[in-house]
Structure 1
Amino acid sequence: MVKIGNIELGEFPLLLAPMEDVSDPPFRAVCKENGADLMYTEFISSEGLIRDAAKSVQKLDIFEYERPVGIQLFGSDIETMGSCSEIASKVNPDLIDINYGCPVKNVACRGAGAALLQDIPKMVKMTEAVVKSTHLPVTVKTRLGWDENTKNVQEVAERLQDIGIQALSVHGRTRVQMYKGQADWTLIARIKENPRITIPIFGNGDVDTPEKALEYKSLYGVDGIMIGRATIGNPWIFNDIKHYMKTGIRMAPPTLAERVAVCRRHLEFSIRWKGPIAGVFEMRRHYTNYFRGLENFKPFRMRLVEGMSYDELDGVLNEIIHEYSEQVC
């Protein structure tokens, strides 16, 4: 049984990675319904939360159906991160996660996210400040290092465990790699093999099929797998992996009707969370992914993107079922 603090996650948990503009409550809802064992919010700026910025505050929204769920924070100032952790703890998530892995320029070049991989002493102090400021378990998500010459994640794992984190997720690329090339899990395996490491170690990067999930579990000995981009338009991947690991057989792919049903449910959650205008707008980035593979889909995609109400969009979704009922999605 894999545990983070007192949170029981099963024998081999599958985690939904925190993804900006993707892993909001509506998306987390459909992932939870399709087998995700632990999920995280989009990353929240500590500076934004301290300033009470509306976008940062809204990201604190969590719901009972999501549990266990963690709030992920990022920032460059140690004191601010500690204060931010106190604020986040008050909304009663199951854990607090620190982002030391985001590679994007407007985060890393401001001294946050993966930038901390260039200053391990500061990373340790910041993590210690967060651990001391909350009664909740603290976890960390990071990368192998800043670049090929500074792959220091093994040192990071030991030092962060020593000051109190209770799980570590590692993306198998450096910051310089961004999302290019193939993720390297060999260093993740070495962390897990280290006899000093007792906390759960989760691997992240390039797992996009049940076969690969089982292969990586066997090869690298991780305690669980965190999945990000492969979940977009495909929240079924969690149950698909679980079924394959149990039986050695892949589940049948979702039918078009099932894709439409989950897309509709996602839309309903989005409207319920953000309201009839913002909720409709936020869904626009998801339609292409839900209906990937349908031939000549552009006219329907345009109607979905341009739709302004639930009723209008619901009508388009019904038309999609009728138009493509004989196609394999």
Structure 2
Amino acid sequence: MSESVKIGNVEVGDFPLLLAPMEDVSDPPFRALCKQHGADVMYTEFISSEGLIRDAAKSVQKLDIFEYERPIGIQIFGYDIDSMREAAAICEEANPDIIDINYGCPVKKVSCKGAGAGILRDIPKMVSMTEEIVKAVNKPVTVKTRLGWDENSKYIVEVAERLQDVGIQGLSIHGRTRKQMYKGEADWTLIGDVKNNPRMHIPIFGNGDIDTPEKAVEYRDRYGVDGIMIGRASIGYPWVFNEIKHYMKTGEHLTKPTIKERVEAARKHFEMALEWKGERLAINETRRHYTSYFKGLPNFKEYRTRLVTEDYAEQVFEILNEIEETYVGEAIL
């Protein structure tokens, strides 16, 4: 594909790799690492529309975006159309490149209120809400969603058309239903059907289970999508973006990051987290990344336990230094 993909007027590259919006993961420190290692488009963690319009500190802090992250989308979720319209306008003031609507989050406390993937049980409302948000802002609006609520309601081909008709400029589809949560295998067949529907003219991005360069190439070629959104495979492993790009270009694998590079990334991640969200949150929310930063290291259990239980920043840095000294020169599986 030689032409650059565009979301509205925003150029996002020839075959963009997008960092999925993930709660307590896709924050500025992690996004900075993913950008450095080849991600083309960033999305914030999802932000509650109710939280934004009530000026809740946690929601407002998630509006923090930085110039080096561009192009970046701010993602919002909610069940009330007026609140979502108002929240989209607040997001626009933060000056992202894109406003994204979350119609995909399967978590009970979100979906059972009719937000996130919950709206897949009410397609007319999903379409009206989207239309109102598109009208409320001047930025391009994109949507992230799933195939349907359950096996019997996989209406994504029709839904995609209807969302395009009310003005969205890009669509990311996770290849599972809400009922599946993250279990089983993502089914990309319907994602391909949406992309290959002659009525569609906006970019379609596939999401779900892409965790190797080979799979990225296979799914690109088989389903014809315009780009791929990567979520869980990037947690603690921001190198995945450049690895996929290199493989797409050359058919060869990049050398895996060394221990020194892994420790450096974990350290940088933690430093930025401390700066952005303070010690307590930085310690708690960076823990989920450590297992992946050091995946494949032999006899790592003791270090992992210490990393995920340590309560002071100074000690976390000491443990990271220890890991580097212990494993320098060690082969990583």
Same fold (TM over 0.5): yes
Please list every run of 5 or more consecutive structure 2 residues that lacks an aligned counterpart in the other structure.
Answer: none
Give 2:188's aligned amino acid: W
Q: Give the Cα separation in 2 of the matches to 1:188 and 1:299.
A: 42
Whether 1:251 aligns to 2:249 is no
- In the TM superposition, 1:262-301 aligns within 5 A as 262-301=265-304
- In the TM superposition, 1:8-47 aligns within 5 A as 8-47=11-50
117-126 or 281-290: bigger deviation: 281-290
Q: Give the Cα separation in 2 of the matches to 1:9 and 1:284.
A: 31
Partner of 1:106: 109
2:52 aligned to which of 49, 54, 77: 49
Alignment RMSD (CA, Å): 1.2
Partner of 1:166: 169
Partner of 1:115: 118
Give 1:88 deviation, angstroms. Answer: 0.9
Q: In structure 1, the residue corresponding to 2:153 is in which secondary structure?
A: coil
Q: Give the Cα separation in 1 of the matches to 2:304 and 2:49.
A: 36
Give 1:280 deviation, angstroms. Answer: 3.1
Q: Give the Cα separation in 2 of the matches to 1:92 and 1:157.
A: 26
Give 1:288 deviation, angstroms. Answer: 1.7
Partner of 2:213: 210
Q: In structure 2, the residue corresponding to 1:319 is in which secondary structure?
A: helix
Q: In structure 2, the residue corresponding to 1:170 is in which secondary structure?
A: strand
- 1:64-114 deviation line (CA, Å, top 9, x unaligned): 111111010111011110001011111111110001111111111001111
- 1:184-214 deviation line (CA, Å, top 9, x unaligned): 1111111111111000000001100000000
Gap change, CA 1:278 and 1:176, over 3 Å in 2: closer
Segments of 4+ moved more than 4 angstroms: none
Q: In structure 2, the residue corresponding to 1:233 is in which secondary structure?
A: coil
Q: Give the Cα separation in 2 of the matches to 1:52 and 1:258.
A: 39
Q: Give the Cα separation in 1 of the matches to 2:209 and 2:283.
A: 30
Partner of 1:242: 245
Give 1:5 deviation, angstroms. Answer: 1.4
Whether 1:261 aligns to 2:264 is yes
- In the TM superposition, 1:119-268 aligns within 5 A as 119-268=122-271
Q: In structure 2, the residue corresponding to 1:139 is in which secondary structure?
A: strand
- 1:129-181 deviation line (CA, Å, top 9, x unaligned): 11111110000000111111111001111011011000000001111111111
Q: In structure 1, the residue corresponding to 2:177 is in which secondary structure?
A: coil
Contact 2:46 2:76 in 1 (8 A): yes
Q: Give the Cα separation in 1 of the matches to 2:181 and 2:313.
A: 37
Q: Give the Cα separation in 2 of the matches to 1:279 and 1:160.
A: 37
Give 1:216 deviation, angstroms. Answer: 0.3
Q: In structure 2, the residue corresponding to 1:196 is in which secondary structure?
A: coil
Partner of 1:82: 85
Q: In structure 2, the residue corresponding to 1:246 is in which secondary structure?
A: helix
1:58 aligned to which of 39, 61, 71: 61
Partner of 2:8: 5
Q: What is the TM-score with the length of structure 2 in the denominator?
A: 0.96
